[in-house]
Structure 1
Amino acid sequence: MSSLVDPLVRIAYRGAYTLALGYWFVRRPETEGTLVGVWHGRKVLLLQNSYKQVFSLPGGGQHRGESPRETGARELREEVGLSVAPSELREVFEARGTDEYKRDLCHFAELEVDAEPTLALDNREVVWAAFIDLDTALQLPLAQLVRAYLEEAARRRGQGTSTP
């Protein structure tokens, strides 16, 4: 039954996202959230949402009273089925952006894993996820703040990139 419903839910997500973009265009809200860089050596976990054309990291908006690490842990569980304690995440970077007509404050946290974990995608909001080499990831179409984080991570980790 899920395979019959999934395409309809993806259509609903695209519609809701389009409406949200219109709202954000008019209101220009201030938002705050967390994205999580899950690293396995030189590879980072990227994902594809059903309603966006760019690649991103697991993450999302902060709930009232949540810390950035709590938000990151919740979003990892919701988006890719990875359960970690907030204390396992390390806050490393913060950036502001105006992508999608919002004034975003985005916290970035990191998680280092010894082996690539088994991921559980809902195939509705998140339709693809994989660990990608950092240099390759930087060649992909990325969300604005994700690109800023990955470029900063490359510098911080002492890894050269092939981007200009």
Structure 2
Amino acid sequence: MIDKIAWLHLVDGRILSTRSRGKDVYYLPGGKREPGESDAETLAREIREELDVTIAPGSIAAAGTFEAQADGHAAGTLVRMTCYTAGYRGALKASSEIEEVAWLGYADRGRVSAVDQLIFDHLHEAGLLR
């Protein structure tokens, strides 16, 4: 099981997604925790590294946990994505290993990882992702 934290940032029915250098698939911003990190610490660190913005600690709210086959891993390797919403300070921009930042809608579901597809479905059914 691969344990990851993700940031759900929606604006006008679209969700912020990222594409890493050399990859074709988009992923929700976030990543794996370092030893001893809390979910909030992981979220803040990963978003700072990937998008060069600061997560507002008091605004972090749980948004669900999703599991699916992990992209690029052997069959049966699952990823568990614990998702949070949060406010931020700064201007969003691709940083570190991120090549592209994109605002995706539900029609882009086929362009994201398997676990992100489950999240897209959930947000679409809730009327948050168009």
Normalized against structure 2, the TM-score is what? 0.81
Aligned residue for 2:81? Answer: 106
Shift of 1:31: 2.1
1:46, 1:58 within 8 Å by CA — same for their partners in 2?
Answer: yes
Which protein is bigger by CA-based radius of gyration?
A: 1
Distance in 2 (alpha carbons) for counterparts of 1:74 and 1:87: 15
Distance in 2 (alpha carbons) for counterparts of 1:160 and 1:131: 11
Normalized against structure 1, the TM-score is what? 0.66
Higher helix share: 1
Shift of 1:38: 1.1
Aligned residue for 2:43? Answer: 72
Distance in 2 (alpha carbons) for counterparts of 1:88 and 1:53: 31
**Tell me, which stretches of 5 or more residues in structure 1 are unaligned?**
1-29
**Cα deviation digits, residues 108-133 of structure 1 (max 9, x gap):** 112367xxx622323x510000223x
Distance in 1 (alpha carbons) for counterparts of 2:26 and 2:55: 22
Distance in 1 (alpha carbons) for counterparts of 2:52 and 2:129: 31
Instruction: Compute the RMSD of aligned alpha carbons.
Output: 2.2
Higher strand share: 2
**Tell me, which stretches of 5 or more residues in structure 2 are unaligned?**
none
Runs of 4+ in 1 over 4 A off after TM superposition: none
Aligned residue for 2:94? Answer: 121
Paired positions, count: 125
SS of residue matched to 1:75: helix
Moved more, 88-97 or 74-83: 88-97
